Structure 1
Amino acid sequence: MWKKESLSAPEYGKIYQHVINKERRGDYLGKTVQVVPHITDAIQEWVMNQATVPVDKDHQEPQICVIELGGTIGDIEGMAFIEAFRQFQFKAKRENFCNIHVSLVPQPTATGEQKTKPTQNSVRALRGLGLSPDLIVCRSTKPIEMAVKQKISMFCHVEPEQVIFIHDVSSTYRVPILLEEQGIITYFKHRLDLPVDDKPTVQLLKWKRMADRYERLLQTCSIALVGKYTKLSDCYTSVFKALEHSALAINHKLNLMYIDSAELEPSTKTEDPVKYHKAWEKLCKAQGILVPGGFGSRGTEGKLQAITWARERKIPFLGVCLGMQLAVVEFARNCLNWKDANSTEFDPNTKNPVVIDMPEHNPGNMGGTMRLGKRKTVFTTNGSTLQKLYENVDFVEERHRHRYEVNPELIPQFEEKGLKFVGHDTEGQRMEIIELEDHPYFTGVQFHPEFSSRPMKPSPPYLGLMLAASGKLSTYIQNGCKLSPRDSYSDVSEESCSDN
């Protein structure tokens, strides 16, 4: 069992807030609170607590906890974390602590020579801070020559087998295969005394099959992502990956078209008709439409236009967080004839507030007022499409990040017209899932299912969108929500490998 946690930029605030709360409770007995030892101790405590949290259904303690310490060595923002892990290596003992350092090996096009100086300098800086890498993972655009590997080994004071090369490959799914080919399993087996065999595991063979399939995909499914942050696609990385996982699961190649929602609005037709028509051309070509989360009023009318297009033309649709809220607003305006229906986020004085502030939300204090983290959603209607996609469970636990909710007082009017609220919170007060009757797939979720999507276990709402967009949803449900043998990864023979 493996566990991965990330200590990246958002964690700084959590750590410091945790220490501040302890000081306010008097846990430090009036002592001066300092970065060392209080912040560094809090970081180590957080790691130890996370390392024992079960991640599988068997509820056993994980064997490995992978901590990703983001940032560049030497950045002042990460110094407290570097110091925390310098101390932690002695608490954990050498046999339980392995430091993997990732470095770039650039290759200027002018000379074509692969440069090792950046790696040498970063390793020198890391050692100066008290941490010595056990493995050096070198990123590069092209495969690295053996002479470069030997040079890094010599100047960075590690054995050649402790230098791992990862060059650009056809897909990220090839990376674990590259690691295995360079003996990383054997290294971990001896370095951390892990009870694993040298033979490839069932999981790795499934991964190889998935990587092979990714490169042979012929059928394409086009999804339009209508959002407001499309100038920087990294803003929707989790959404893109969830769609990619789902497309791969059904043997399709994903064609994700980013559409700036503001370009779908009538005002853009006047100001820049070329952008307007290009945006609508993309939307018209889409086999499925996704409206993700976001904040602020900019571009919301364009998102409403896209939702209307999906609802009226029976195009598969998925709304996530704000996307779900806007689907409710659109339905209220065009099906309930509440023309001024809106969210209080965009119009606090609307006469038909179909999306409202949550009771605990304080508009005067934006920080720390959102409904965050993993929460339970209970299915209230047996046999709903999304419940079937979640394998007919009674409830699901997904991560939330929102400050507004659907007005629970208006639910009867919506359901009377066919917009069903098939999932609530445990108290039955907050609407979590919507589904539209007489539509191939018109679903909205208040939570963010993309955060729990995995390559071999795609998120059910995103999988439902891809299935509906490719015309496979009905067959999938009739087959008990199981992929066909051609699409499944599960038929790898266990006789040919170990099952660790």
Structure 2
Amino acid sequence: MKYILVTGGVISGVGKGVISSSFGAILKCCGIEVTMIKIDPYINLDAGTFSPYEHGEVFVLDDGGEVDLDLGNYERFLNITLHRENNITTGKIYQSVINRERHGDYLGKTVQVVPHVTDAIQEWVEKVALIPVSNHGRAPEVCIIELGGIVGDIESMAFIEAFRQFQFRVKRDNFCVAHVSLVPQPKTTGESKTKPTQTSVRELRGLGLSPDIIVCRSEHPIEESVKEKISNFCHVAPQQIISVPDLGSVYEVPVFMENHGMADFLCARLNLGITPLPPRRKYMSQWIELGEHIRHLKYEVNVAIVGKYTRLEDSYTSITKALHHAGNRIGYKVNIKFVEASNLEQTMLTDDPASYHTAWRDLCLCDCVVVPGGFGKRGVEGKIEAVKWCRQNEKPFLGICLGFQTAVIEFARNELKLADANSTEVNEETKHPVVIDMPEHNTGNLGGTMRLGQRTTMFKKSEKNCKIKRLYGNKEQIQERHRHRYEVNPQYINELEKHGLKFVGVDTEQLRMEILELDNHPYFVAVQFHPEYLSRPVCPSPPFMGLILAAKDRLKGYLARGCKLSPQEPQSDYYDSDEELKDLTQLTVKKLTLPDDDNSSAYSSSSQI
């Protein structure tokens, strides 16, 4: 097994997740089976109880693991299915060590950070690295490990020490370190400042890890003289220093890095045995074409996300990615406007009229609306107002999780005339609890007690022509990921359906409502699950595809053609509507012996690793 450790310096949030994913994408294009591990040094067992403002969105895996949002990047880039064990936290490590101590595994020894905690980290990594993550079930050959936070954080010291030991445990030819560091470029001078990178690399080396690659993140590309300066002070050859500036799309990063000879370097450094490589335009062609397509989108669509955590866009990372996937597929650049749900409420008209009118203006100017999930009472009434406006004004609408529940509440209030209709999460004393909690998930604890992970949703046999079923390819059942502990009250389902709210999808026991739809509406769909988690760059989530198509009045034609785009309509040449969508991680290179005749400046760089 080969290992690549990705560390960070200067500041967090510098893009280690995308860089790590890009390493994986490049290796997968070379025919190497890759797995990913994210290490978060916090003591929480998982990300499930975090506020979105604290850590961004919580990403949910097939097995119900509530993990860091970077695992979403890994799955999207590599088209793999990760497991809860692929996200390591300090809490998980200490819990396993303490459990072993209580069980008597340490035979009365004093349990210490070194060697017991550091050994537990190494054993966890070695165990998880062997778990298959691809559909064909082959064992991974390379494990990429992203260490969260920055070098020097007291929380990550045990992990740094563990990997200092680990490099000798697995031998040098099987272990590579990539350090991602910010190179600030103050606007006052425009000069690239290397001192922060020098300091972070010096600290990393002082802790026993020497980087093989330094990835310099900056707003603009850095000059060769800057690379040479970093090389002199960081003991890394200039050819092993990559400048990754801000790009138009994260999906351009793999090609950008490979243009600097990343595959050649990793093959040599880790002795992967896949050289000589063919021309880059061959094995990276799908990433190149995807990036070119995204850069040249001619049309635009405006989407409003009515949420509760709009101050931090990372709170809705998977939703924004899913919207972009759908827009890219049909040839539209997606412009997202975040609307704070609380600002749509009537009380804001007197409390803060400027915010109230701005929120409603933004909502009215959009082409379609997404009402995503959330927890708690705040902003629910604003979401209900947004749903009502979409329903009455025939604005394309997609509700997700809490958005599904607010759609039920709004319909009950305005069509069933149950003015007091509500969710017991918002009002436990409501006379008409159309949304109630699921008893088996109300344990008193918060972490890991929801209905989590991949579940089966079955379409009702009586619903043959509903839009959402056709978007899913007329399947009888689908698999999507869930994260909720509230459901539609079964006592109100018949009455809701009599008035026109169709529950077209249910769980396998046909007790829980999963999908709703309105007939006489361009697109009014809400789902209890989270379709955004399974959206991929070249395989967009069907509910999001329907939303974008309906926003541009193209849904009817799309459905009439059997969910195929018309050649006359805007779309990318990269996508072939008459064939299976391409897989960005298709194996194309391993053990090939094509001559390296690629001299095109479009796919090469003067700065090679």
What TM-score, normalized by structure 1, do the two folds share? 0.91
Matched, 1:359 2:465: no
Tell me which amino acid in the other structure corresponds to 1:440.
P
Aligned equivalents of 2:393 and 2:423: distance in 1? 25
SS in 2 for 1:86: helix
Aligned equivalents of 1:387 and 1:493: distance in 2? 23
Q: How does 1:343-492 map onto structure 2 within 5 Å?
A: 343-362=423-442, 364-381=444-461, 383=464, 384-483=466-565, 486-490=571-575
Aligned equivalents of 1:23 and 1:340: distance in 2? 54
**How far apart are residue 239 of structure 1 and its match?**
1.7
Which of 405, 423, 426 is residue 325 of structure 1 equivalent to?
Answer: 405
CA RMSD of aligned residues (A): 2.7
Per-residue displacement from partner, 1:184-211 (whole Å, max 9, x unpaired)?
1111222223336242265622222222
For structure 2, the residue ranges without an aligned partner over 5 or more in a row are: 1-32, 48-87, 590-609
Cα distance change on mapping 1:113 and 1:364 into 2, 3 Å: same
Percent of counterpart pairs with the same letter? 55
Aligned equivalents of 1:246 and 1:432: distance in 2? 22
**How far apart are residue 488 of structure 1 and its match?**
4.9
- Farther-moved stretch of structure 1 (269-278 vs 329-338): 269-278
Q: How does 1:106-145 map onto structure 2 within 5 Å?
A: 106-145=184-223
Tell me which amino acid in the other structure corresponds to 2:375.
F
Per-residue displacement from partner, 1:292-341 (whole Å, max 9, x unpaired)?
11111111111101101111222111111111111111111122222211
Specify which structure has the bigger relative contact order, considering alpha-carbon pairs within 8 angstroms and separated by 6 or more residues.
2
Matched, 1:181 2:213: no
Which of 22, 38, 53 is residue 6 of structure 1 equivalent to?
Answer: 38
- Farther-moved stretch of structure 1 (227-236 vs 197-206): 197-206
Aligned equivalents of 1:424 and 1:21: distance in 2? 40
Aligned equivalents of 1:203 and 1:282: distance in 2? 43
Q: How does 1:50-449 map onto structure 2 within 5 Å?
A: 50-194=128-272, 195=274, 197-200=277-280, 204-362=284-442, 364-381=444-461, 383=464, 384-449=466-531
SS in 1 for 2:284: helix
Cα distance change on mapping 1:478 and 1:28 into 2, 3 Å: farther
Contact 1:229–1:235 under 8 Å retained in 2 = yes
Per-residue displacement from partner, 1:363-401 (whole Å, max 9, x unpaired)?
743344223333333334464433333334444333332
Contact 2:329–2:575 under 8 Å retained in 1 = no
Tell me which amino acid in the other structure corresponds to 2:267.
K
Aligned equivalents of 2:421 and 2:342: distance in 1? 20
- Farther-moved stretch of structure 1 (448-457 vs 478-487): 478-487
**How far apart are residue 290 of structure 1 and its match?**
0.6
**How far apart are residue 163 of structure 1 and its match?**
1.0
Contact 1:220–1:255 under 8 Å retained in 2 = yes
SS in 1 for 2:305: strand
Cα distance change on mapping 1:271 and 1:493 into 2, 3 Å: closer
Cα distance change on mapping 1:361 and 1:281 into 2, 3 Å: same
Contact 2:468–2:543 under 8 Å retained in 1 = yes
Contact 1:202–1:498 under 8 Å retained in 2 = no
**How far apart are residue 69 of structure 1 and its match?**
1.2
Cα distance change on mapping 1:91 and 1:211 into 2, 3 Å: same
SS in 2 for 1:130: coil
Cα distance change on mapping 1:391 and 1:365 into 2, 3 Å: same
**How far apart are residue 221 of structure 1 and its match?**
0.7
How many residue pairs get aligned? The number is 498
Per-residue displacement from partner, 1:269-302 (whole Å, max 9, x unpaired)?
1223232222111111121111111111111111
Contact 1:52–1:62 under 8 Å retained in 2 = yes
Cα distance change on mapping 1:178 and 1:472 into 2, 3 Å: same
**How far apart are residue 74 of structure 1 and its match?**
0.6
Cα distance change on mapping 1:314 and 1:19 into 2, 3 Å: farther
Contact 2:302–2:337 under 8 Å retained in 1 = yes
Cα distance change on mapping 1:132 and 1:499 into 2, 3 Å: same
Aligned equivalents of 2:342 and 2:503: distance in 1? 28
Cα distance change on mapping 1:423 and 1:68 into 2, 3 Å: farther
Contact 1:135–1:163 under 8 Å retained in 2 = yes
- Farther-moved stretch of structure 1 (293-302 vs 376-385): 376-385
Aligned equivalents of 2:290 and 2:327: distance in 1? 12
SS in 1 for 2:176: coil
Per-residue displacement from partner, 1:429-465 (whole Å, max 9, x unpaired)?
3332222223222222222222332222222222221
Aligned equivalents of 2:147 and 2:555: distance in 1? 40
Tell me which amino acid in the other structure corresponds to 2:588.
D
Cα distance change on mapping 1:422 and 1:63 into 2, 3 Å: farther
Contact 2:391–2:521 under 8 Å retained in 1 = yes
**How far apart are residue 146 of structure 1 and its match?**
0.9
Cα distance change on mapping 1:444 and 1:14 into 2, 3 Å: farther
SS in 1 for 2:280: coil
Aligned equivalents of 2:575 and 2:374: distance in 1? 36
Cα distance change on mapping 1:341 and 1:55 into 2, 3 Å: same
What TM-score, normalized by structure 2, do the two folds share? 0.76
Cα distance change on mapping 1:493 and 1:331 into 2, 3 Å: closer
Aligned equivalents of 1:393 and 1:19: distance in 2? 46
**How far apart are residue 348 of structure 1 and its match?**
0.7
Contact 1:199–1:498 under 8 Å retained in 2 = no
Aligned equivalents of 2:249 and 2:263: distance in 1? 21
Aligned equivalents of 2:565 and 2:142: distance in 1? 31
Aligned equivalents of 2:283 and 2:114: distance in 1? 42
SS in 1 for 2:374: coil
Aligned equivalents of 1:388 and 1:38: distance in 2? 54
Per-residue displacement from partner, 1:122-165 (whole Å, max 9, x unpaired)?
11111222222111101112211111112222322222221111
**How far apart are residue 23 of structure 1 and its match?**
4.7
Per-residue displacement from partner, 1:9-62 (whole Å, max 9, x unpaired)?
544234444444555555556655443344334433443343333333322223
Aligned equivalents of 1:460 and 1:498: distance in 2? 26
Contact 1:140–1:167 under 8 Å retained in 2 = yes
Per-residue displacement from partner, 1:340-377 (whole Å, max 9, x unpaired)?
11111011111221111121333743344223333333
SS in 2 for 1:144: coil
Per-residue displacement from partner, 1:215-245 (whole Å, max 9, x unpaired)?
2222111111111222222322222222122
Tell me which amino acid in the other structure corresponds to 2:179.
H
